[in-house]
Structure formats: C-alpha cells, structure tokens
Amino acid sequence: MWEKIVAFFMSIIMGILSLFGLEHLVDGGIKKMENISYGTHERQVLDLYLPEDLSDVTGLVLCIHGGAWIGGDKSAYTDSAKDLCKNMNIATATVNYRYLSENVTMSDIIDDIDAAVAKIKEIGKENGTDINKMLLTGHSAGGHLSMLYAYSKADTAAVTPAAVANFSGPTDLNDKNYFVNNDLGTENVLMLVSFATGKKITLDNFEDSKADLDSASPLYYVNESTVPTIICHGMKDTTVPYSNAVALDEKLTEYGVTHDFISYPNSGHGLESDEEQARYAEELMVKYFNEYVLK
C-alpha cells in the first residue's frame, strides 16, 4: 500500500516538473535540513529543503503524509520534496506528527503541524528568506490534515496557508457512509474517530457525537475566507467515501470559495486508474501555487 502511495506522489511531482520541461532530476544544489526537531516527541521532526539561491524564495509546498493518522512517515515524500525544491526554486518541507492514540487527539496533531510551520518560518529567516505563504498537500490522512490546518489556522499560522491540494482526504467524519462496505471496518473507523475526538464514540452514540466530530472535520470550518482548494477523489473509494468529496464541493460552492473538484471515475482510494484526471490535477497544482502562493 505504501509503495503505491509513494509512487502516486512521485507521479504527481514528475508531472508537475514536466510542465516546466524539467523531467530530468538533478541532485545537489539545495540546502537540506533533515530531521529537525520542532518539539520533544520523537515524531515531532521535519525535513526542510531550500534552494541555494534564496533571493526570490517566499513560497512553500508543505507535504503531510497519510496513514490513517496512526502510521506513515515523512520519508514517503522526501524525493518529491527535493525534486520540487531543486527544479522549481521553491522551499519544500515534509513533516512527521504524533500518531492518534488514546493520549493524542486530532487537535494535538494540528498543534504539531502549527509548531512545525513556526519552525520552518524560523529556519527560513535564519537562512535569509521570509517564507510567507504555502500550499499544503497530502494523500488520505495527509489531505485531511492539510485542509483542517489550512481552514482552521489561516489567520494565525506562522506561514499563511494560501491553497490546499487534497488527494482522497476525509472531509466529514460525520458521514455514515464510512460504515458502508469500508475496507477499514466499522470497529477501526470507530477507534479512529474516538482517538480523533478524545471521546468514546460508538454506533449507538454516533449521532450524538456530531459536535465532537465536527471539530475534526475540515468541512465544518468552511466559510467565505476559506483558501482555494483542489479536491481529488476516486468514485470507487472504499476507504474514504466519495460522498465526503461531494459534500466539501457543495460547501465550498455555497460559500463562493475558489476550488476545483476532480472526480476519478475509475479509481479507488489510491487514485490509480485515471490518467487524464491525474494530469489535470498536476496542472492545477502549478496554477494554484503560482496564483495564490507566489502572488
């Protein structure tokens, strides 16, 4: 599964680079700052890559890994982050965070990302550049965290979230479709949402837990000021229901938020079977970065 996720993101990066005629990747020429601690926990580390020439570098692409909030690692995006930094002359970073558990809620993970972003801002200044805007992206749990952070921390983040590219990420933990033919299984879904909220959630009290589930759902932070968003979701996804993406599309439309919704009709959670849609997503990421991060 992880091999597929890594391959997926590498294909995205290769596609983006090809738009600039930069398919050939070059090693070196970047400042590599890896496993930088931003807290005391072993998972509170990040990798930051800066171009050698920082004179025009103010934008950041922040990659957040997936893994159902209980697995995964920033190393999945290491090569992608390096390649983007080198070939597009931008700052890139990928971050680890504490896994959900009985002692770590979704709010704690968002605090981790907030601390990581503040550390990135600090390191940028130490190296002579002011990183002031970013595009956040990730697959699955990484997409969810990208949205949740950008939507809830837009006014307080050390580096301003300017756009989000979400690939198969959960948007609404209240969606009962999580319990319909889900690969994770009902018990695992209930465990995850219980960890996320810090409350014991069961099928019996699921509807009564709406407010708690809202707090961990990007959908419920949408307003007129929400950042431009790319939504990519497979119509055959049996991990995160396609209805999550539809609901976010409707909410963003309701509030007049700039966004693009790309449905992958032949793909599941890995977005593996729709080349045309994948190519369009690559083009949109470049467009969003240029229009909302660099300007």
Q: Which of 29, 36, 37 is nearest to 54 (CA)?
A: 29
Residue boundaries of the structural domains of the chain: 2-293
Q: Which of 127, 109, 154 is nearest to 48 (CA)?
A: 127
Confidence of residue 133 (pLDDT cuts 50, 70, 90): very high
Minimum mean pLDDT range among 48-57, 91-100, 127-136, 254-263: 48-57
Q: Are 194 and 201 in contact (CB under 8 A)?
A: yes
pLDDT higher for 53 or 234? 234
- Tell me phi and psi for residue 294, to 5 degrees: -80, -15
Q: Which CATH superfamily is domain 2-293 in?
A: Alpha/Beta hydrolase fold, catalytic domain (3.40.50.1820)
Q: What is the pTM of this model?
A: 0.91
Question: Does 23 have pLDDT greater than 50?
Answer: no
> Residue range 6-13: average pLDDT?
56
Question: Does 139 have pLDDT greater than 90?
Answer: yes
Q: What is the pLDDT of residues 174-204, one digit of tens each?
A: 999 999 999 999 999 999 999 999 999 999 9
Q: What is the pLDDT of residues 28-77, one digit of tens each?
A: 678 999 999 999 999 999 999 998 877 777 899 999 999 999 999 999 99
| Residues above pLDDT 90, as percent of the chain | 83
Q: In angstroms, what CA-CA distances link 269 with 199, 218, 240?
A: 27, 18, 7
Task: Give the model's pLDDT for residue 160.
Answer: 97
Q: At 16, list the tokens.
A: 């983006």
Question: Does 5 have pLDDT greater than 90?
Answer: no
Q: How many CB atoms within 10 Å of residue 87?
A: 21
Confidence of residue 260 (pLDDT cuts 50, 70, 90): very high
Q: At 122, list the tokens.
A: 């600090």
Strand partners, 137: 63, 165
